[in-house]
Structures are given as structure tokens and as C-alpha cells.
Structure 1
Amino acid sequence: MRRRAFLGGTAAALTFALAPHSLRAAPARFDIATLRKGWQGRLRAIAAKGTLPIIDIESCYNPGKINLAEFAGRMDEAGVAQVCMSPQIGKGGFDSGKLWNDGARDAVAAFPSHFIPASTAGIWPAWSEKPKEFLDIHLRRVVEDGYPLLGEFEFRHYPSPPEWQRGEMFRDIAIPIDGEHGHRLFAFSAETGLSFQIHYEIEDGLLAPLEKMLAAYPRAKVIWCHLAQVRYQGRSTVYGPAYLRKLLETHPGLYVDTAFGGPKSVYPGSRENHARVWESDGRVRPDWAALIEDHPWRFLAALDLGGDRMDEIGDKVKTLRRFLAGLKSEAAGTVACRSAWKLLFDEQIAL
């Protein structure tokens, strides 16, 4: 079933067991057709100034701890056209029974040309502690509200570097991607045509389950976050440009985002440089560049901002642009924004 036809129907058309509707008045669906005009205009305005515009496919934020006007200003300075903004549910919200956050709606209402709404982030604690209930409401609201993209779901996730340094180990998450909840997500994507993001650490023991799911749901659109981010090299002997090339050429619904650290970034848990796309001198490795240049429409620009690092947008953009500069210009332009536009809206955009 094509995405537009599906989203034009009602949530009752879903073939999945979703939670019953609440009694509150449902919010209006996102007017994607109108929003697209604004997004497209902003992309072209940035390009007209001689700056390569960026669509950030993957970031999340704490709606209660952000100054949207200040953040939008930083996007303007950095040439970021749009951020696919996925709201978080913190511990306090989860403890009070919250399993969905409408923060993306507020961001889009405030700055409609800057933000593309993404559904609530699938992170600790709502997703990791109550995955079934989280999906029940999540999949229903995505359809009812007309979201163009699902946020990131953490299936295998080590604590981020800042969390590790603070001694916060709660985001050491392991949910089998080929288990009940993984099947629901893959099936939902295959049915609706909507893409979803996964955080899935790159380790030998995790590759076969992912391959199994990609083969079982060939129409699912899966964004594997964090190209070549290997946090423990001793646990990853298979993954590399040749492996990923074969995976992409075998599974046309697989995409990869390009959010990773700079050449000197170190994961504190292993004390290793965990962004494996870089040469020791800080250039992009030729084998990775060749893969991306051969398949640029399968790679998506991303910043991976989070609630505890929203002020890092400037540094994140510098790292991303350094990476894009290591690609041929046509491929760089596709990865920066054209591939995301094609994935989200099923059309090519001319800048």
C-alpha cells in the first residue's frame, strides 16, 4: 500500500492491535502539503546564499528545556534548513504515566519552516520500560496526526559519552530487534511507507538479527543511525564498507544516517576512537567515500542532537560539513538534503 493512500485513510485501517482512542479531542493533522512549501522555500533560500543546506534527519530534544527561538537562530547561522525534531519523555513524565509527547507540534507551530515533526523518541524510560504500551499509543498517533517520520528507537544502545562520563548507565538498553516489538515496527513501516530510525550498535552478534528483519520486511524503510560508529572494535570484525555495500544492495529499504563524532572523538567506555569513517589525519577514508558516492540516496545527513547537548549544534554542523567536504560535490549535496527529501516525500527537490 502506498504511503499517501494509507495516510489518506483513517487510523482504523491499521491492521495492528493499537490502543483505544482517548476521550480527548484529537489534535489537527499536520498540514504536510502546506508545510512542505515552507520547507522547500527555506532550503532554496539557503542554497541561494551559496551555502549547502542541511536537513538533519535525526535529533531529539527535551521540550521543557529549549529556547526554540535561540535554537532556530543557531540553525540560521549554521545553514541547517530543517531539523526532524523528535521530543523526549523524561523520567518525571514517564513516572506520571506519560508515553507520548506533542512537543514536535509546538516546535512546528513556532517555526514551521525550520522543523519537520518526528514522533516521540523511542528512548529510556518510556520505550525501554514499557515498549508494548509505548508502541500502542505511538503507532496510533503517528497515523492520526500525520507524522512524516518516526523518531529513533533504541534497540541496542550504550550510554552516550556524556552519560558515561556522568556515571549514568540507565541507557544501556537491549531490546531484541527480531522480537515482538521489532516486528511491530517493521510491519508498520512496510504497511504505511513511513520510515523509522534505529539505534543499533555495530557488533558481530547483532548483524544477523537485523539482516533477518530486513529480509522479512522488504518494504520497510529503516534508517540505521550513526554510520560506522563502532564503540568496541573487538566486538565488531565484520562491519565495514564492503559489508554495508552488500547490505544496501540487498535491501533497498535500508538507509544510514551520518551522525558520528569527529576524528578525535573517543568513546569513554572503550577509550577508542569510535567514529570509524576518518583517516588518522582527519580525512574521510576513501573506501567509505566511495561507498557513499556510489549510493548517495541511501545516506542521510544527521546531527544527533539530544536533550543534554542542544548547544552543540555549531560543533555538530562543523563535523558534518567536514565529512561532506570529503565527498564529491554531487554526492555531498544529495546526502546533505536531497536524500532526506526523497525519502520523506517521495520526490526529488531541485535547489
Structure 2
Amino acid sequence: MMPLAVFLALVLALAPRQDPDVPILDAHNHVMPGLDPDEMVRELDRHGICRIVLMATGTPFDKRAGLTLAAFDKHPDRVILFVGLNGIRRFTPEILKSIDGLLASGKFRGMGELTLRHYPFEREALDGSTVRAGDYTLAADSPEVLEVFALAEKHGVVLTVHMETTAETIPAFRRALAKHPKAKVIWAHQTPIKTLDGAKEEHARKADPKQIAELLDRTPSLYADLSVGYETLFLKSDDRKLPEAWRTLYESRADRFVVGLDMPFLQGWKTDGYRLRLEVLREWLKQIEPGARKKIAHENAEKLFGG
């Protein structure tokens, strides 16, 4: 007769194993005045985040490179540098020249978030303070924005784009991608909660994953990220369940997605915002088959940004 201990060991060895939480490369995040790089990295360590893309915000453009470089200098093995473009309303010749120079230095792996369409909001943060974001509209196929796409193409870096889905934004985005087909672009916030044609809760969860699939199929250099942006306002417990159409999108085009946590306000870093967003993200990832999950969680980003 087989000893009980040997039998139990055999059963455990043959039983299906739960896939553990995979490492995550946070491909969409921000640094702002007041965020201590050491404190940020401790937060990453607490939550199993291997590396992080930082895009500076909350300060004039000419101060942003200094913020990201300060974080990189302290933690070069954890920080991936992006030129911070958040909230720039006009890309003047001076700003474009400055971006070109920063990218030419070879230190920056990308730039973003290029804000093409952003809905304004005001809400209470976890610490009781109020955070606000502005109303931005900038056509993807306007001459100045096409210059930004051209810089991404010229330097071979990644361009992260924030663009809400509307009847006006999608055609312009298609034209910009067609004009610069070699520009590596990440379209942010492609999740089941995202809005369609409006900024209210009634517009949330209305986006069509087939439209995203069509854009990805049309442009081989286009990627998308699973980060919850504006739609955080409408997040409910039921949203942890990944709809079948979205799961199919992520699995069928697993080579084209990355993940991010998108913390644009200092209050989020100082409270429990990172953990709360990560919980939702990990719930989605667990519902995706393991091979696709690893690609989306970190492998695709590692290929995009390099070592």
C-alpha cells in the first residue's frame, strides 16, 4: 500500500496549479512635483511591479525632464524615461525642438501622454482633497500633432496617446496613423469601462472592442494599454468581471497590449490609489489565458522599451 504522505505528494504534483500573479511592467504612469522616487519604488515593491514608465506632469514643460531624470538617476533599473507631454495644448516650434533634443539624447524611450481628447472632471481624492483635470481637444491629424508622430518615427520611440473615442476622433486618428505608419503608438485606456461619444456614466461601457481590433489590424505599429483613466469615475464592483468580447480582444491580439496604472495626481500615490487600481487590473489579467497574460503583463512592454 502506498504511504499516505507519498500519495498526497503525488496528488499535489499532478493537480492543476493556479497560475501565480505574473510580474507587471507598469507601462503608463506619471511623476509630479512632491513624489519621492524612493517612496514610489517602495510602492512598486509592495505590489510586484518590476519596472515603470514615468511621464512627468503637473509642472511647466521645461521642468518635466528634470523630474523624470531625478527618478531615473536614483533607480535606473526600475524607471523607463518618457518625455512628458500631458496637457500640452499647442506644440509650438520651440516645444517640438525641445522634444527632438530630449529624444536625441538617447535617454528617453518614449513620450506621452499626448492629450488629443480628454474630458474635464473634478472629484474627491481618497485623502479628501479635490483633484481636477482639464478639457482638451487636439486633432490627431493637425499639422502640429503630426510633427509629434514624426518625431516618434524619427527616433524610433514610443508615443502614448490619450484620446477618447468619438465620431470625430477616430477618423483623425486613422489618418495620423496612416501618415506615419512606422510610429510606435500606444492608445491608452482600452478597457471594458471606456466611454463612447460622451463623458457621462451613461456613455461608459459602450465602446466596441471590434473597433479597437480593426485599428490594431490596420496598423502593425499600433498598441493599446489596459489602464483605467477617466472611467475611474464610473468604476463598479461588477466591472471586475471581464466581458467575453473584451477577453477575446485581449487574447486574439495579445502581442499588441500592455498594462498601466496611470496615477496622474500626487494624492493617488500618497493614499491607496495604486493598490486599488492594481486589484482591478490583476482581476482582468487572471481571466485571460496564461500565455496572453504574460505578454500583456510585461513581455510586450519589455520588447517595446528594451532592457
TM-score normalised by the chain length of structure 2: 0.81
CA change 1:219–1:281 in 2 (3 A) is closer
Question: What runs of 5+ residues in structure 1 fail to find an aligned partner?
Answer: 1-49, 268-272
For residue 177 of structure 1, give the secondary structure of its aligned residue in structure 2: coil
Whole-angstrom CA distance in 1 between matches of 2:188 and 2:177: 15
Contact 2:122/2:132 (CA < 8 Å) preserved in 1? no
Residue matched to 2:228: 260
Residue matched to 2:46: 77
What RMSD in Å do the two structures reach over aligned CA positions?
Answer: 2.9
Please give the per-residue CA displacement for 1:217-242, whole angstroms capped at 9, x wherever unaligned. 11111111100421447779994111
1:131-142 → structure 2 map (5 Å cutoff): 131-142=92-103
Measured after TM superposition, the shift of residue 327 of structure 1 is 0.7
Residue matched to 1:53: 23
Residue matched to 1:197: 160
1:114 aligns with 2:72: no
Whole-angstrom CA distance in 2 between matches of 1:100 and 1:320: 28
For residue 59 of structure 1, give the secondary structure of its aligned residue in structure 2: strand
1:309-320 → structure 2 map (5 Å cutoff): 309-310=268-269, 311=271, 312-320=273-281
Residue matched to 1:297: 255
Measured after TM superposition, the shift of residue 145 of structure 1 is 4.2
CA change 1:333–1:266 in 2 (3 A) is closer
CA change 1:239–1:317 in 2 (3 A) is closer
For residue 313 of structure 1, give the secondary structure of its aligned residue in structure 2: helix
Q: Which amino acid aligns with 1:259?
A: S
2:291 to 306, 313, 330: 330
1:86 aligns with 2:50: no
Whole-angstrom CA distance in 2 between matches of 1:111 and 1:298: 27
Residue matched to 2:264: 306
Whole-angstrom CA distance in 2 between matches of 1:54 and 1:257: 13
Contact 1:55/1:301 (CA < 8 Å) preserved in 2? yes
Question: What runs of 5+ residues in structure 2 fail to find an aligned partner?
Answer: 1-19
Whole-angstrom CA distance in 2 between matches of 1:167 and 1:237: 23
Please give the per-residue CA displacement for 1:252-282, whole angstroms capped at 9, x wherever unaligned. 11110100169xx663xxxxx3x6xx99463
Please give the per-residue CA displacement for 1:297-335, whole angstroms capped at 9, x wherever unaligned. 110111111133224211121121111111111111110
Residue matched to 1:184: 147
1:139-158 → structure 2 map (5 Å cutoff): 139-158=100-119
Contact 2:109/2:157 (CA < 8 Å) preserved in 1? yes
Contact 1:196/1:221 (CA < 8 Å) preserved in 2? yes
TM-score normalised by the chain length of structure 1: 0.71
Whole-angstrom CA distance in 2 between matches of 1:282 and 1:320: 8
Contact 2:31/2:68 (CA < 8 Å) preserved in 1? no
Residue matched to 2:242: 284
Contact 1:100/1:134 (CA < 8 Å) preserved in 2? no
Whole-angstrom CA distance in 1 between matches of 2:56 and 2:184: 21
Residue matched to 1:128: 89
Contact 1:197/1:222 (CA < 8 Å) preserved in 2? yes
User: Larger C-alpha radius of gyration, 1 or 2?
Assistant: 2
Please give the per-residue CA displacement for 1:186-219, whole angstroms capped at 9, x wherever unaligned. 1122222211111111112211000111112111
CA change 1:88–1:236 in 2 (3 A) is closer
1:173 aligns with 2:136: yes
CA change 1:280–1:66 in 2 (3 A) is closer
Contact 1:55/1:81 (CA < 8 Å) preserved in 2? yes
CA change 1:301–1:167 in 2 (3 A) is closer
CA change 1:305–1:260 in 2 (3 A) is same
Q: Which protein has the bigger strand share?
A: 2
Please give the per-residue CA displacement for 1:30-72, whole angstroms capped at 9, x wherever unaligned. xxxxxxxxxxxxxxxxxxxx5411111111121x311222221
Measured after TM superposition, the shift of residue 132 of structure 1 is 3.9
Measured after TM superposition, the shift of residue 244 of structure 1 is 1.2
Whole-angstrom CA distance in 2 between matches of 1:175 and 1:247: 20
Q: Give the paired residue count.
A: 278
